[in-house]
Amino acid sequence: MEPLRSSKQAPAIPERDGRRLARLAREAIAETLGGPVCERVDLHSFDGPGASFVTLTQDGKLRGCVGSPVMSASLVEGVISHARAAAFQDTRFDPLRQEELPHLAVEVSLLSPLQPIVCTGEEDLLQQLRPGVDGLVLDLDGHRALFLPQVWKELPEPRDFLAALKWKAGWPATFWSPRVRTWTFTVEAWRDETSHLRPHGPDGAGFLYPARHWQRVEDGRIRCDVCPHRCVLGEGQQGRCIVRQRVGDRMVLTAYGRTSGFCVDPIEKKPLHHFFPGSSVLSFGTVGCNLSCRFCQNWNLSRSRDLSLLHYRATPEAIAESAHHQGCRSVAFTYNEPATSLEFVSDVAEACHAQGIATVAVTAGYLEEAARRDFFTHLDAANVDLKAFSDGFYRRVVGGSLGPVLDTLRYLVHETKVWTEITTLLIPGLNDSDDEIRRLSDWIASDLGVEVPLHFSAFHPDHRMLDLPPTPRATLTRARNLAREAGLNYVYTGNVHDLEGETTCCPGCGRAVIQRDGYQLQDLRLQEDGTCGRCGRQIPGIFATAGRASHFTA
């Protein structure tokens, strides 16, 4: 083996980014087990070289630990690789099973540069070690072992610590040689665990919650009235969304109190750019969707009929408490279509509001009128996917129709106080023509208003649409320019690194009032009343300044 190389520089990671690394490690493991795609888009701002370890524990016992003291070119990719190796390749343990993930604590340790120790022997080394502070590396002719500083909790005495490390290297506890080389290092560590969510909520796979918005039809079947598909079901049949099912003579929600996972995200990731900028949001979802987009980025959840993927269980109160515990300003219903679980959404929202926590939905907006009113009554903000401005696109590519989505947007903007932003994923050759972008932008300007934020997002090949190329950044820039020509004041680009396309500028004087880099807030130049500090123009949105929330609309 090659000698260890000392790192010349280790990145300084803020606390928020450190917690994001720990969540990333869990997401990497979950993706391998069939969960949502492990996203890296919001990580570029602190992704530099770095040395890391990922440690997994279950009920306080080690379940896997893999890493390297050698600095890799990408700290983020190193953490992802170590997380998967700790879960599935640590030869001391069996590969992690899906049902273990909710019980797992995931810790990421970022190592400082290795510092060689000059010592005259074992006793000198013991005198130089700092219990609880130093990690230690031993090497003799390529036989190498490492202990992180966390091991001091189990072995607080230096002599025991060193003896155990020698044993790990394959040497007797009494062994020493003047050829042994030693290095010390320190770590910054961040931990992600969801154990506070596990004990709560329905604890059986067969938990069924009474559903709303259905009626009996003349032939004895029952019809779901949540979305325009209006599925008519016989005994035991599931709706197109999967999670609404007929059991006996009633409609039930099979996903109540069960989710596919939790993640703390920046609110900009939803994306919401005018809703508590820079705040954290606790995101979670279930399975199922009432549309069937051929390009779906979370198809393994939205199109799954396997409820065993919902391996996290929690009551609405537990979710609200988790958001509060993790310092989140809001809770987001996302990853799949939340409106199909509107009963769960409404109960979680009520529990969140009781603790002063806002609620957010990332939705396709494909709903019938009564269900639409029920669903959005409980929400504070929504990002609606307007997938194209063509009914043909909706029929061929999405499995729905455009009209109900436009009705949802009109309802949100004109009849509710729900803060609303729109996202359109631009797919090369399908919905990215100048004509369609102009028609979409003109409709927003005339029917909704020029103050409604619009996000153009880049497509990446996935699911059943692997034959198309990713969206070029130039396409997003072109679309943004066309929308601004149509009069829209707030048009953004997403899924690419584009500082100009991520910045909120005041339409009055042109000043950058909210600056972002990826999903990270860089600068907020709004007055406490939500106005531009230069010209006094009101910027529409829901902002938190000086610890207070203010709701501003056009």
- pLDDT tens profile 165-189: 999 988 988 899 999 999 999 999 9
pLDDT digit string, tens, across residues 311-344: 567 788 889 998 998 899 999 999 889 999 999 9
- Residue 519, pLDDT score: 83
Predicted local confidence at residue 318, as pLDDT: 87
Encoded amino acid at 263, one letter: C
CATH 3.40.50.300 correct for 15-194:
no
- Mean pLDDT score of the chain, rounded to an integer? 87
- Lowest model confidence (mean pLDDT) among 301-310, 358-367, 383-392, 478-487: 301-310
Q: Model confidence at 449, in pLDDT bands (50, 70, 90)? A: very high
The alpha carbon of residue 12 and the mean position of all alpha carbons in its chain are separated, in whole angstroms, by 23
Start-to-end CA span in the chain (Å): 65
Q: Which of 7, 27, 2, 544 lies closest to 284 in space, CA to CA?
A: 27
Both structure tokens of 315: 């009551």
CA atoms within 13 A on the CB side of 186: 8
What pLDDT band is residue 12 in, cutting at 50, 70 and 90? low
* Helix, strand, or coil (residue 55): strand
For the question of whether the overall pTM of this predicted structure is more than 0.75, the answer is no
Q: How far is the C-alpha of 388 from the C-alpha of 247, rounded, in Å?
A: 36
Question: What would the CATH number be for the domain defined by 258-497?
Answer: 3.20.20.70
Mean pLDDT of 436-456: 98
Tokens linked to 435? 């004509």
Domain range annotation of the chain: 15-194, 258-497, 503-554
